[in-house]
Copies of this chain bind each other. A is one copy, B any other.
């Protein structure tokens, strides 16, 4: 009896530890994304430097979560919701790692952006950054709280991110046409916008994973926007 109780308890502890690793990893990439946006929109150099510095920590957490997930799979033979949660963890760590990567990439670009004297407006990017960060935070909340409805809400919200991206794309092309001196800065901003859009995509993936882990059912393959990874611009 003591043996059984002990086993049950440490199994629960392992699952709890996995959840905590995921939450830590989520928190880190959230911070990277926030810094990346700050680096571009406010020209904050410290933020630009700090975001990529967090990469190794994110990678280390990914490895740790994965090793733990494999250990639980091997030793505990989890079933049903536990099994789905562990499989979701294995997939979600990949999405979080990519989000961290995109955020670092944005931050590195920010350091090369020379916006002095430019008349370009960064309002579109600011809005896009705010929305992407907001969705990411909610996706990570849904992940840690196993919140089905929260996951659905995030999944639906990505349409707005895509719309903002399309508007930004057009705006930046116009700036480039108007004055070739804007070209280099605009290319960097285009990639920043694209990376934010990709962060939005991975955020949606996380929401889909959470939904599956909690309910055992998949969200439809086609997102509200009309197709995963559809790139009209």
Give A27-62 as 1s and 0s: 1 = Cβ < 8 Å from B's Cβ atoms. Answer: 000000000000000000000000000011001000
Q: Is A83 a contact partner of B108 (Cβ separation < 8 A)?
A: no
Q: Does B90 contact A56, Cβ atoms closer than 8 Å?
A: no
Using Cβ atoms and an 8 Å threshold, which residues of chain B touch A94?
A: 91, 94
Q: Which residues of B contact A228 (CB under 8 A)?
A: 55, 59, 101
Instruction: Please determine whether B184 and A187 come into contact, CB atoms closer than 8 angstroms.
Output: no
A101 contacts across to B, CB distance below 8 A: 228-229
Q: Any chain B CB within 8 A of the CB of A153?
A: no
User: Mostly helix, strand, loop or mixed at chain A's interface?
Assistant: helix
- Residues of A at the B interface (CB closer than 8 Å) are 55-56, 59, 63, 66, 69-70, 73-74, 77, 79, 83-84, 87, 90-91, 94, 98, 101-102, 104-105, 108-109, 173, 176-177, 180, 183-184, 187, 190-191, 194, 218, 221, 227-232
Q: Are B190 and A105 in contact (CB under 8 A)?
A: no
Closest-CB distance, A45 to chain B (whole angstroms): 18
Residues of B within 8 A of A177 (CB): 180, 183
Instruction: Closest B residue to A181 by CB, please name it.
Output: B177
CA separation between A145 and B194, bound complex, in Å? 36
Q: A73-B87, A101-B229, A105-B229 are in contact. List 8 more A-B contacts (CB 8 A).
A: A55-B229, A69-B87, A74-B79, A101-B228, A108-B232, A109-B231, A176-B180, A187-B190
Closest Cβ–Cβ distance, residue A140 to chain B (whole Å): 18
Interchain CB contact (< 8 A) of A91 among B90, B173, B190? B90
